[in-house]
Amino acid sequence: MPSPPPRISGRLLVAARIAAETPGAGAAVREVMKRGLKIDQLARLPEELRGPLPMEHRPLSGRPAPRALEDARLGAPEVGPWPRDAAAYDAAFRRGQTTPRRVIERALGELEALASRTPTMNVLAASDKDRALRDADEATARRADGRPIGPFDGVPFLVKDEFDVAGLPTRLGSRCEPEAPASADATVVARMRRAGAVVTGKTVLTEWGMSPIGNNVNHKMPHNPFDPTRAPGGSSTGSAVGVALGLAPIAAGGDGGGSIRIPAALNGLFGLKPTFGRVSRAGDLFAGSVAHAGPIGCCTADLATFLDVVASEPDPDDAITRWAPRPPEGGFGARLGAGVRGLRIGVDDDEWRDASEPVARAGQEALRALERDGAVLVRLRTRLLRHAAPIGYLTIAPESLAAVRAHWLERRALITDDVRMTFAVAEQFSAVDQLDAQRLRSGLRREVAALLADVDVIALPTTAITAPRFTDEDARTSFSDAGAIDGLCRFAFLGNLTGLPAATAPVGADAGGLPIGLQIVGDAWDEVGVLSVLAHLERTRVAEVRRPPGAIDLL
């Protein structure tokens, strides 16, 4: 199998970008990228793996309803002194140990200070301090009167800069987007504010979400909190680093090809991409058929509470939320204490062989722990899962380019070189390539639905590698690294192409202390089942959020 193209930056990247944008020469660059990202393999797949062109992207269920499994009634996992989850803030407020005002004042100060660290750990794209302090004062008054409006009341909340926040611009990590402030909150933001959460800032992301590594020369981008020479992951970069450093227990992210799960895994956190249609994308400037909104958090219970707040009812401003069934009685955290006895976990050994040794070892140790507690590991053989990433590249890149077509045609000089090269390559994919990828996507959806008729969840690595290199020099200049991109996205696109719920849990670290994630993929609309697996891993300390150097305790 050919090796992926090496990382290129500086003059070499500019030369490759110019070649990609040049008629004739661009075809050669496209073929190199197609081989490096394994896109060239798709045309040779057997015809029977293809389905009809999808007319809509409503997720397919493997079974009419989740199996009735035993509920061990173990209760939600207890979180220790670190990390500071929403329950810790709630308890501190109730005891009078601190107030929302004091917490938010400190959070705002610490968020500003991160930019001055060496190397920078900046997570902020924009902030409205006055609004944050007003909201904190209102939460403080409610707490003083003994009438909090929920577990997030007065708790700091970070928002990826793809969601509208009233009074702040939505820049999507690009210099092409306008500076005009949004007139209203995105639905996710509005519903979290309604629950009392205090928006302390909008977080940095990679340009238009196009890199899973975490590089974007348009912003001061943070490095990995566990090793400043390593990448933080993307595209929800600032959201993940902000939670990992203790600046909020929960953050809103977006996931079109792993952009919640990848940075959550690389920063040692929990992250959830819900079912397509579960969470409203109104006011979320990313769209298309693979983009999802969801949470990155420091514990499973906060992921469930986030969904209770933002996804318990359809949004009239987002038609696809009408697909979603009502949450079960007891909300999205109804089975956090259920345990895993009798749970059938699908495992494809061939998929796991594509993960690096430390990633495979940590994930398989976690699966063996689940097996000891009563789960049943079911061996699967799949044909299309290994091709999900190239199908995903042929989906997300053309959709993203079409979404920013005016910028591409009129403001191309403002786009970073790595994204320009990506778009130049995507522009040259043929219509036949793109439509054939959608037929393969249809076949993948069908294959995975059939698998989930027999198992409750599928277990995969979250990424094939741990955090790749990201030095100060990398942060200053654009670079392209097809090998790192494929290593990070290898197992992510399955969830985006099918629309199925997929989550990551921190289940270990490599020899250098870099976090490793285990991914759990569930049947359509079964976030409850996925979260129950994460909760059991957390309860048994198989999954654990570690405190990185330089983390901040707001309490």
Give the residue numbers marked as catalytic. Answer: 160, 235, 259
What are the backbone angles phi and psi of residue 256, rounded to the nearest 5°?
-105, -20
Q: Which residues contact 397 (CB under 8 A, 6 or more apart)?
A: 210, 422, 423, 425, 426, 429
- Which residues is 254 bridged to in the sheet? 293
Structure tokens at 484: 């790192």
First to last CA, the chain: 52
Q: Produce one character per residue of 477-493: b if its CB has 16 or more CB atoms within 10 Å, e if not.
A: bbbbbbbbbbbbbbbbb
* Rounded Cα gap, residues 483 and 425, in angstroms: 16
Which segments of 256-299 does DSSP mark as H helices, in order?
Answer: 261-266
Listed in sequence order, the residues at least 6 apart from 93 whose beta carbon sits closer than 8 Å to its beta carbon are 99, 100, 143, 148, 153, 154
CA atoms of 467 and 520, how far apart (whole Å): 20
Alpha carbon distance 170, 284 (integer Å):
9
Residue of 37, 91, 111 whose CA lies nearest to 487 = 37
Q: Which candidate, 49, 209, 69, 45, places its Cα nearest to that of 522?
A: 69
Question: Alpha-carbon distance 222 to 208, whole Å?
Answer: 17
Q: Which residue has the tokens 């944008």?
A: 21
CA 230 to chain centre: 18
**For residue 515, which of 353, 305, 298, 345 has the smallest C-alpha distance?**
298
- Cβ-based neighbours of 235, under 8 Å, separated by 6 or more: 173, 205, 206, 209, 210, 211, 212, 214, 254, 256, 259, 263
Smallest CA-to-CA distance from 142 within 152, 157, 132 is with 152
* Amino acid at the residue 191: R
- The DSSP symbol for 16 reads H
Q: Which of 65, 67, 70 is nearest to 373 (CA)?
A: 70
Contacts 24+ apart (CB under 8 A), 308-311: 308/332, 308/333, 309/150, 309/152, 309/191, 309/192, 309/194, 309/195, 309/197, 310/187, 310/188, 310/191, 310/192, 310/279, 310/280, 311/274, 311/278, 311/279, 311/280
